[in-house]
Structure 1
Amino acid sequence: MTKQFAIKFFILILILIPFVGQAQQLDFASEVGFSPKNISRAMPNVMGSPYVNEDYQQVRINGADNKIYSGRYNAYINEMEILVAAGRDPIALDISNNDYEVFFINENKLYKTFNYESNRGITKRGFLVVMSEENDVTVLKEEIVKYYDKVAASSSYDQDKPAKFRKEDDNYYIKLKSGRVVYLPSKDKDIAKAFPEQSKEIMTFVKKNKLKTKKEEDLIKVANFIGSL
């Protein structure tokens, strides 16, 4: 083996080591019953966080024999990261063809996978937080984190604004008896428009109970009322 060949071989090994490690993580996750994928790469030099909570927290996952893992939710890309075992790198749950329920123990917070229709009518798939389940109707919340690019200073008197992640207002959805998961507006008049056949009953219910649908607890009450009609 020539010296030049040895150097090239050594470089190739260094390149392959991370991929071997990733494959081992995925194989191990598959062994414990998960459908895993590699987590998305972090974006450097960005202020804020794409995660709802930066720190990993104790979670239980459906079908995992009541074992406790550590997890965190990346709301920017709708990705659930899981630490399957101590000393191993995190994996992401592959939800493309699999359904998951992830319960954050300390927060008493349940995430489930759904296919749903956004406020723009676009069909999406991802994790939504279960807020309420009544009358065969489920009220759900989509946690939103957006990325904003760096903004260059407009003059020598200003400073550049760094790229950042920012938590936005949550979106709400309702899973109807038909199984469809549709967007639930936060304004009472918009809710009435979204459900035209029940619009009069909805407006009467809101006014009678003096509800403010921009408040999460009142919006849930309206959603459950819609489910009872």
Structure 2
Amino acid sequence: MNILKKVVFCLITLCVFKGYSQLQPPNNNSTLQDLAFFIDVNNKKYANAEGSKYIFEEFKLAKIDGLSGSHLIRFDPVDNIIQLKKEDDKILSLSKKYQYKITLLDGSGVFETQQFINPEGKIENTFFERIVSTENFSLFKKQRVKFESSKPAKSSYEPAVPAKFTKLQDAYYLMNLENNPGHIVEIPRKKKALLNFFGNKSKEVGKYIKNEKLKVSSGEDLVKILNYYFNQLK
């Protein structure tokens, strides 16, 4: 069993042990009243913070599978919330109990909610941007933003530091549709760890990355690497 299969196997085992249950999409009879609830977006914790906590600041028109019509949507990766803006400008949050597929109508992206194991070993439900989906695998991107609290001045030589939102490096997640559809694992960000991810095919993948001058931090290049692995090495 190669490293990739071992990781997926461990993930499944851990999920079962913790009482993992697959998220269900909203049905065709669902309404906003069933799926969303009012939230207060004016959290004092974030007052006067520099930068943006959202993937995109302005709400975008989107289609949500299971709901009729179109809706104004934006994504908050700091509090892990999908926000929805109503006609009266009230802002709602979509319930985390369901799995959503959200297609932005301007063509800028498709987002899906998935469950995964976070670094603390807990099951978490969050949204990912779907980069590509083939018969063998799907690749998702998790855009990350970090909130840093303000820091008071320590002295006249060290001024106060304002609160701010900082964009972090994107993380990528793989769903192996061939063996375990519905389960995703994070792809390592460092080249050595990434190669180990492919088990006994690591040398071949390493040569391919070198010959093609690919960057493991690039989503487009990860698609090429995964296509090579699934279509030519497996």
- Quickly name the TM-score band, shorter chain normalised: 0.7 to 0.9
TM-score by length of 2: 0.76
Structure 1 residues 121, 221: closer, same or farther in 2, change over 3 A?
farther
Q: How far is the alpha carbon of 1:56 from its aligned partner?
A: 1.0
Partner of 1:16: none
**Correspondent of 2:212 among 209, 213, 217:** 209
> Does structure 1 retain, via aligned residues, the 8 Å contact 2:131–2:219?
no
Question: 1:62-211 counterparts in 2 under 5 A?
Answer: 62-65=65-68, 67-84=69-86, 86-95=87-96, 97-118=97-118, 122-177=122-177, 178-179=180-181, 180-211=183-214
Which runs of structure 1 show a deviation greater than 6 angstroms over 4 or more consecutive aligned residues?
A: none
Residue identity in the other structure for 2:91? P
3-state SS of paired residue (2:160) = coil
The change in CA–CA distance for 1:140 and 1:183 in structure 2 (over 3 A counts) is same
Deviation at 1:83, TM superposition (A): 1.7
Equivalent-residue separation in structure 1 for 2:39 and 2:112 (angstroms): 19
Report the number of matched residues. 197
Alpha-carbon shift at residue 121 of structure 1 (Å): 5.5
CA distance in 2 between partners of 1:220 and 1:54 (Å): 28
Conserved in 1, the CA contact under 8 Å of 2:31 and 2:67? no
| Whole-Å separation in 1 of the counterparts to 2:124 and 2:198 | 21
CA contact (8 A) 1:118 1:183 kept: no
2:39 match = 39
Relative to structure 1, is the Cα distance of residues 45 and 138 closer, same or farther in structure 2, using a 3 angstrom cutoff?
A: same
Structure 2, unaligned runs of 5 or more: 1-29
Q: Percent identity?
A: 24
TM-score by length of 1: 0.77
Higher relative contact order (CA 8 A, sep 6+): 2
Query: In 2, are the aligned partners of 1:118 and 1:182 still within 8 Å (CA)?
Result: no
